[in-house]
Amino acid sequence: MGMKNIKINDKEFELFIEAEKIEKSIGRIAEQINADLKGKNPLFIVVLNGAFMFAADLLKKITIPCEITFVRLASYRGTSNTESVQKILGLTESVENRTVVIVEDIIDSGNTLTALIEELKKHHLREIKIATLFLKPGALKYDLRPDYVAMELPPDFIVGYGLDYDGYGRNLIDIYKLKN
Ligand code: IMP
Ligand code: MG
């Protein structure tokens, strides 16, 4: 267990979820995935940077044959000036006719994931499953139903276990939340 309070740049954070609890939640969804996707040879698409630690722990517990790839999302201006579009970088595997599992760190408003799904749908997949470490149901602005949610959280800002504040805190093994 880490320290109870930490400071990142100008902000104070307090210990919120300990590593063992995260690990147990991940074990639970790994079992679900192993059962649901057996025989489907899924392709896991890990969304960098935030999901790297979750993906490593989740995929160590996946026992069915699968492939794993990593993407990054780049925002750019769409056709209309207000529209922000997400472009997927690094998807080299063919996804046509595959079962893909998007591996995300956190779904907050759902904006990022909605854009990613729209992009992926252009590739004629068989089905898209969503695995997320955290979901903030109170912040969700889109009709998204992730298939595998390790933990549901209140809408507080958190860091650790892959998630950052201003680039820092991704290496923490526990989750800390912003003190207010
Ligand atoms: P959304 O598009 O609003 O769902 O936000 C998704 C992205 O915002 C995540 O992939 C994270 O990178 C970031 N994010 C959302 N909430 C948090 C948080 O509490 N801490 C750190 N990053 C967050
Ligand atoms: Mg993310």
The list of the chain residues with pLDDT below 70 reads: 1-3, 77-85
Helix locations, 39-110, DSSP H: 52-60
pLDDT confidence of residue 93 = 82
Domains annotated for the chain, with CATH where assigned, are: 20-153 (3.40.50.2020)
With a 6 A CB cut-off, is 106 part of the ligand 1 pocket?
yes
Q: Which of 108, 109, 149 to mutate to test the pocket of ligand 1 (most atoms within 8 A of CB)?
A: 108
pLDDT confidence of residue 81 = 56
CA of 150 to the centre of ligand 2 (A): 15
Active site residues: 108
CA of 108 to the centre of ligand 1 (A): 5
Kindly tell me the number of DSSP H helices and DSSP E strands found in the chain.
3, 10
pTM greater than 0.85: yes
Pairs from 134-142 (Cβ < 8 Å, separation ≥ 24)? 134/105, 134/106, 134/107, 134/158, 135/106, 135/107, 136/106, 136/107, 136/108, 139/108, 139/109, 140/107, 140/108, 140/109, 140/110, 141/109, 141/110, 141/111, 142/109, 142/110, 142/111, 142/113, 142/114
pLDDT confidence of residue 82 = 58
